Amino acid sequence: MLKKVLLFTVVVLLLGCNSREWIKNQNQGGALGTSYSIIYIADESLDYQREIDSVFQVMNQSMSTYVPTSDISKINEGDSTIVVDEMFREVFDISTQVHQASNGYFDPTIGVLANAWGFGPGEQIQLDSLKVDSLLSYVGWDKVQLNSDNTITKSNPAIRFDFNAVAKGYAIDRLGALLDAKGIKNYLVEVGGEVLAKGTNLVSGKQWTVGIDDPQVETGRQLKLIVALEDRAMASSGNYRKFRIDPETGEKFVHTINPKTGYTKNSYVLASSVVANTCAVADAYATSFMAMDLEESKKVLEDHEELEAYIIYLDENGETKEFMTTGFQAFVKQ
């Protein structure tokens, strides 16, 4: 009888250990020129707001072109003595990898063009073919170098970096690393629509789900797809929200700049979403696919099996079409 009681007690204790009450902790606000939401599941109430703010602050001081005292701003102004931090080095290395893989369509030296077209912190100017050709002489990843002493060399002082197409994804990765270091195994980090999902939502008992916007809905929001992610990151890019209208001509200029031609890209590709192991990589490729033709993007995806993608485009008849890798299809919630 005593053995039965002891056995029963052990079983109850074991069941008690497995029936933990999970708590959804969340921090949200504004940073990097957009909004963020960070959900992390634990068995207690937690608040990592101070640490989260610190990540954004360090990111801004390293790579924000909108902060005049940041490292990147000083480098852009010609200061060759700046010793960059680990984050800058990692983003530089990621940029090099994606630049090579995308056949040069991803190029963060487009800073002068971003300013000229009105998508950066610098002065917007009236552009014609001669001015665009002139500015292209300040664009080219082969014209910059990260030295062994962590300084940057530019072949021309006028070359300007713009990491906007990768830094937001990288910030998400850093926030994920913060939560990893805290021992959090289940979380969803979202900054400006880019996401990193780890584990599952233990509160709901389901996978983390995120939506992909319909690129043809310019006002309000309508979802095109809902995808479920676990231990993966996803970034999306599109010309449907980031554009400017010339007040005099009414002409629409989209934010995707082709670093090879110097012009903003009004292509048949409407939007791209990329799933990768890190959000920085997903972010960089999602931007690249907006500048590339669809067939070029398909070739990159064939060569990089670690990437999955969903691309919305217009065919030769102007009809909306979709391309989706087999691996991406597995993420789609029916």
Q: Report pLDDT for 243.
A: 45
Q: Report pLDDT for 16.
A: 43
Q: Report pLDDT for 260.
A: 86
pLDDT tens profile 19-73: 579 999 999 999 999 999 999 999 999 999 999 999 999 999 999 999 999 999 9
Q: Report pLDDT for 226.
A: 96
Q: Report pLDDT for 268.
A: 80
289-301 average pLDDT score: 94
Alpha carbon distance 82, 61 (integer Å): 12
Alpha carbon distance 329, 308 (integer Å): 9
Q: Report pLDDT for 128.
A: 61
Confidence of residue 217 (pLDDT cuts 50, 70, 90): confident
Question: What's the maximum distance between 2 C-alpha atoms anywhere in the chain?
Answer: 95
pLDDT value at 277 more than 60? yes
Q: Is 0.75 topped by the overall pTM?
A: yes
Q: Report pLDDT for 120.
A: 67
Q: Report pLDDT for 11.
A: 40
Q: Report pLDDT for 14.
A: 40
Structure-model confidence comparison of residues 109 and 315, the more confident one: 109
Burial class of 116 by CB neighbour count within 10 A (0 to 12, 13 to 18, 19+): buried
Is there a contact between 62 and 84 (Cβ–Cβ < 8 Å)?
yes
Q: Tokens at residue 217, please?
A: 């809905």
Sheet holding 320-324, edge to edge: 23-31, 34-42, 187-191, 194-198, 232-238, 269-276, 308-314, 320-324
Q: Report pLDDT for 316.
A: 85
What is the pLDDT of the chain when averaged over all its residues?
A: 87
Confidence of residue 125 (pLDDT cuts 50, 70, 90): low
pLDDT value at 2 more than 70? no
Domain ranges (residues) in the chain: 67-161
Q: Report pLDDT for 252.
A: 41
Q: Report pLDDT for 127.
A: 59
Q: Which of 170-179, 265-274, 318-327 has the highest mean pLDDT?
A: 170-179
243-257 average pLDDT score: 52
The DSSP line for 5-36 is HHHHHHHHHHHHHH----EEEEEEEEETTEEE
Structure-model confidence comparison of residues 18 and 33, the more confident one: 33
Q: Which residue's structure tokens are 């880019």?
A: 194
State percent of the chain over pLDDT 70. Answer: 84
> Phi then psi for 213, rounded to 5 degrees?
-70, 150
pLDDT tens profile 142-184: 999 999 999 999 999 999 999 999 999 999 999 999 999 999 9
261-283 average pLDDT score: 87
Q: Report pLDDT for 250.
A: 47
CATH 1.10.3980.10 fits 67-161, yes or no: yes
Q: How many residues does the chain have?
A: 334
- Lowest pLDDT segment from 84-98, 223-237, 260-274: 260-274
- Cβ partners under 8 Å of residue 17, min gap 6: none
Strand partners, 40: 25, 187
Q: Report pLDDT for 242.
A: 46
Q: Report pLDDT for 17.
A: 44
Structure-model confidence comparison of residues 15 and 233, the more confident one: 233
Q: Report pLDDT for 113.
A: 86
- Lowest pLDDT segment from 50-59, 68-77, 81-90, 264-273: 264-273
178-191 average pLDDT score: 98
